[in-house]
Chains A and B, each alone.
Chain A
Amino acid sequence: MPVISPNVFASSASRVANDASAAVAAALREKVRRLERANSVQRRGRAAGVTLGIPAIDALLPEGGLLTGALHEIEAGSGPSGRVAPHDGAALGFAANLLGRFGPGTILWCRRASGGADAAPYAPALSSWFDPARLLMVTAARDEDLFWAMEEGLRCPGIAAVLGETRSVDPTAGRRLSLAAEKNGVPALLLRGQPASPQSVCATRWRIASAPSTSTPGLTDVGAARWRVELRRNRFGVPSVDEVPSWLLEWNDETHCLAVVPQALHGPAGARFEERLVG
């Protein structure tokens, strides 16, 4: 389960060795970036990428973080037993964490209307990541309306980010969203409750599954939320040694901090270590 890509060390080493070649490499990298995203415009005063605050993940992403003018997909994944959870509480938490990093401005949250069994995002919990007063909630009856609302939001200058909850995205709609995001420099997020067939248009695709938390030693209470995060697609990013880079993240609601759980503290070895600590 490697956490940190070796590329990080490689690039820092070369920078120390030769400043001139590093400058050339940076210029070339910048040129490639421009060619790749010729349409992309940056909002004035906004960064091209927004850091996640987790060095291990940021190192893999282009611009040192999530691209603002791009489409990102977040889907709920399966737990340790292989069964996909019947809800996407964890994926929603991760998406809210991302939304909180884009800003300032209004967050447009688009949902499909569903009847009595509807489970709506709950603002008191979302307030851990951003102020829910920034939310503009939109309910659409059809998928077409949902994508239309997202596109309208992406074009609006006061919007910080747009999130859409869908079951599936047809490639055309995804492509349109991706173009609109690029053109306006506003991030578009798609949140899916179930893993779906991969679409190739998004800049990044994340699969989030809730992972067992750790109790206070000696008790059986619920610990801080832990998510198994997989980066399943990373366009424009730094290639990783793993086919699917994956991390175990922990959200600390008191310090408002999302961090990688240290390797030694999870898995069987970590469990033993904990027991020793207790004993």
Chain B
Amino acid sequence: MDRLARVSKKDWSDRAAATVAWDDGCPRLVALNSHARAAGLRPRMRLADARALLPDLVTEAGEPQADLRLVEAIASWCDRYTPWVAIDPTGGAIAPEIETACSAGGFGGDAGLLLDVTGCTHLFGEGESGERALLADLVTRLARRDLSCRAAMADTAGAAWALARFAERQADLFCPARGQRDALASLPVEGLRLEAPILETFLKLGLRRIGDLYPMPRGPLVRRFGDQPVRRVDQALGRLDEPIEPRRLPPAFRTRLAFAEPIGRAEDIAAATSRLLAALCRQFEQAGVGARQLEIALYRVDGSVDRTSIGTSRPNRDNPKLMKLFEERLGQLDPGFGVELMILSAPEVEAWSGTQDALPDQESPGVASGVDGTIDLADRLALRLGAENVVRLLTRDSHLPERVQVPAPVSAKPAGEGAWRRIANLKNARPTRLLQRPELVEVTAFVPDDPPSVFRWRRHAHRIVRADGPERIADEWWRPRPDGSRPPATTLPPVRDYYRVEDDDGGRFWLFRDGPYQLAANGQPTARWFLHGFCA
């Protein structure tokens, strides 16, 4: 509802308004504003019935996608209070301990967010006053953005959910610790998040208040309605745990810095990042870990959030080096009208190995491992060019030329000393450049089984003067095919016959024929020739 109020030109602030969606065969109301609620309209009411009650109702088509986007934006904004934020699956299961349910407009008119603020309220004050201050802060900040919301705080997710939706007095929205039994007693049973048929039966039986369920014997209740009502009551009262799944997994390491005045200058943001980083690196040292990934989030005054992250190829807690990586990225961040809060978190950490190895250059005594900076260089390059574009080459035991060389991330264990030389010694001369895909060439040969006398590649004929070969390379029958099947044992594996040839211009090429020379039924040779590389 609020999303529409914010985008619509119509003046809705003092008139009853609703969004409408087609559901169950007729248009029905989805979200209502407070005036419409006061006039007795309810969500899921038929539009025709609503018009009969309230002829001057303003309606607008509902847009569930846009509503969802708004709720997600609010949810990510709520990260400022706690990392443990979940979007309430409508009527679904939710959270433990102290939590806040904030019911924003839109999203079926009943969208809710669940915030587990355990351990976060001390930032706003000691004990209960801190909790109250957090709640008030949340409501006023949302109200400043024209988002009406009802936020409640209670020990359990179920209680907060019920209070946020059904509490009648403003004072009831804050439920003191262990006070949920009394607070819920007078609320309607709708506050228990029950399935519609159960709810209907309860109402028919005259069980209208949650408190009516307290004295009921549990056994018959379970036999009659299944375990849902009992479970919901237990969850709301805190007798049963209710897991809440956060939108983003909260990082184990995180530091925050709030500013009295919004900041916007690049230097200020860099300085704040540096302070956050110093604090985070101290946390790393205590825990004995190093960061593989760091994320910085700017909470802007207009309520939006901008994030950027850096990755390192091995665990790192070196403040200046990490700062250097951040400097690349900070320029891309947009402070907007000002930043009021920055949070630096480490979503990915690894055990700190203590030393940083250099790329393999052991023969150099002067270049000690760690100080030579190659890893840091690789990190910087990977940040701008993408990690898959900064690789080193590993060997693979294979006969197929294209499989010998494997690109691997810089963090991978390097090929051993002389491993490449050993591989090269096992083979004949190899080309200095290898085509990623062998290219088909047309050949002319005097004798069918001989190396060709002329080959045409890219519309140019090369007359061959010298040739070496063949070197026969067979397919690796022990390796499963790309589709997972195994080659049949009865047939010979496909082979390639490689030739190193030199044309009359001195160019040296690496050609192969994909199989022995044979004539097919139509008199054409079955084998084709390919160019696979260029020799020195």
Which A residues lie at the B interface, using CB under 8 A?
A: 44-45, 79-81, 83, 85-90, 92-93, 96, 103-106, 108, 113, 116-128, 131-141, 145, 148-149, 152-153, 156-160, 209-213, 215, 220-223, 225-228, 251, 253
Contacts and interface: CB of A to CB of B under 8 A. Distances in A.
A49 B421 CA distance: 27
Nearest to A136: B392
Interface string B455-478: 001101000011110000000000
A73 B460 CA distance: 28
B434 A136 contact: no
A199 B405 CA distance: 35
B418 A131 contact: yes
Contacts of A133: 359-360, 392-393, 414-417, 419-420
Contacts of A121: 432-433
Contacts of B359: 106, 133-134, 136, 158
17 contacts: A44-B366, A80-B506, A90-B508, A113-B389, A116-B437, A117-B436, A122-B430, A124-B401, A131-B417, A133-B392, A137-B393, A145-B385, A153-B377, A156-B376, A158-B367, A222-B467, A227-B536
Nearest to A148: B384
B431 interface: yes
A85 to B, nearest CB: 5
B241 to A, nearest CB: 51
B431 A125 contact: yes
A120 B437 CA distance: 11
The 7 closest A-B pairs by CB, nearest first: A158-B372, A93-B536, A89-B534, A79-B505, A158-B374, A127-B420, A87-B534
Looking at A126, A132, A149, A223, the one whose CB has the most chain B CB atoms below 10 A away is A132
A212 B535 CA distance: 12
A28 to B, nearest CB: 32
A108 B418 CA distance: 19
B358 interface: yes
Contacts of A159: 374, 377
Contacts of A119: 433-436, 533-534
A126 B431 CA distance: 9
B404 to A, nearest CB: 6
B420 A132 contact: yes
Contacts of A135: 392-393
A140 B420 CA distance: 25
A123 B366 CA distance: 27
B364 interface: yes
B410 interface: yes
Looking at A125, A127, A212, A227, the one whose CB has the most chain B CB atoms below 10 A away is A125
B361 A134 contact: yes
Interface in B400-417: 401, 404-405, 407, 410, 414-417
Contacts of B395: 123
Contact of B508 (A96, A123, A210): A210
**Chain B interface secondary structure, helix, strand, loop or mixed?**
mixed
Contact of A139 (B389, B418, B432, B502): B389
A152 B380 contact: yes
A96 B286 CA distance: 47
B536 A222 contact: no
Interface of B: 358-361, 363-364, 366-367, 371-374, 376-378, 380-381, 384-385, 389-393, 395, 401, 404-405, 407, 410, 414-421, 423-424, 427, 429-437, 439, 457-458, 460, 465-468, 500-502, 504-508, 533-536
A122 B420 contact: no
Nearest to B505: A79
Contacts of B381: 138, 149, 152
A106 to B, nearest CB: 5
B434 A122 contact: yes
Contacts of B410: 136
A108 B404 CA distance: 21
Contacts of A134: 359-361
Contacts of A137: 390-393, 407
A136 B433 contact: no
Contacts of B434: 119-120, 122
B357 to A, nearest CB: 11
Contacts of B433: 87-89, 92, 119-122
Contacts of A124: 401, 404-405, 420, 423-424, 427, 430
B512 to A, nearest CB: 14
Contact of A213 (B424, B431, B439, B502): B502
B405 A122 contact: yes
Given A106-B358, A134-B361, 14 more contacts: A89-B533, A89-B534, A92-B433, A96-B432, A103-B361, A122-B434, A124-B404, A125-B432, A131-B421, A133-B392, A159-B374, A210-B506, A213-B466, A223-B466
Contacts of B432: 89, 92-93, 96, 121-122, 125-126
A201 B232 CA distance: 78
A212 B373 CA distance: 43
A156 B389 CA distance: 18
Contacts of B407: 137
B387 to A, nearest CB: 11
A121 B378 CA distance: 20
A59 to B, nearest CB: 25
B466 A104 contact: no
Looking at A45, A89, A227, the one whose CB has the most chain B CB atoms below 10 A away is A89
Contacts of B500: 222
A212 to B, nearest CB: 4
A113 B374 CA distance: 22
Contact of A138 (B385, B404, B536): B385
B455 to A, nearest CB: 12
A89 B361 contact: no
B505 A127 contact: no
Contacts of A211: 506
B361 A117 contact: no
Contact of A104 (B364, B371, B392, B534): B364
Contacts of B427: 124
B468 A221 contact: yes
Nearest to A45: B366
Contact of B367 (A86, A118, A157, A212): A157
